[in-house]
Amino acid sequence: MDVKVLGTGCTNCRNTIALIEEVARAKGVAVTVSKVQELRDIMAYGVMSTPGVVIDGQVVHAGGVPARVKVEQWFGA
């Protein structure tokens, strides 16, 4: 599963990455997490509020650290 976290490197972005990696590990889901920090690239996804999360090419979240429950749903509740 390809996961991209869109953001300029703020604390919320780092916390989002850590949460995604933690939940994926707990659920035994193999993920590749990458950061997208260039504003032009972030806007190409239509995300205006960061952090944003893109899974396999689809935007699933934008604006703030997602709730743990939401992240768990991405990886199969």
Q: What share of the chain is helix, strand, coil (3-state, %, to 5)?
A: 40, 25, 35
Report the C-alpha gap between 26 and 40 in whole angstroms.
33
> Which of 6, 13, 47, 62 does the annotation list as catalytic?
13
> Which of 10, 18, 26, 67 does the annotation list as catalytic?
10
Please confirm, yes or no, whether 10 is among the known catalytic residues: yes
Q: For residue 42, what is the DSSP state?
A: H
Please confirm, yes or no, whether 62 is among the known catalytic residues: no
Catalytic machinery residues: 10, 13
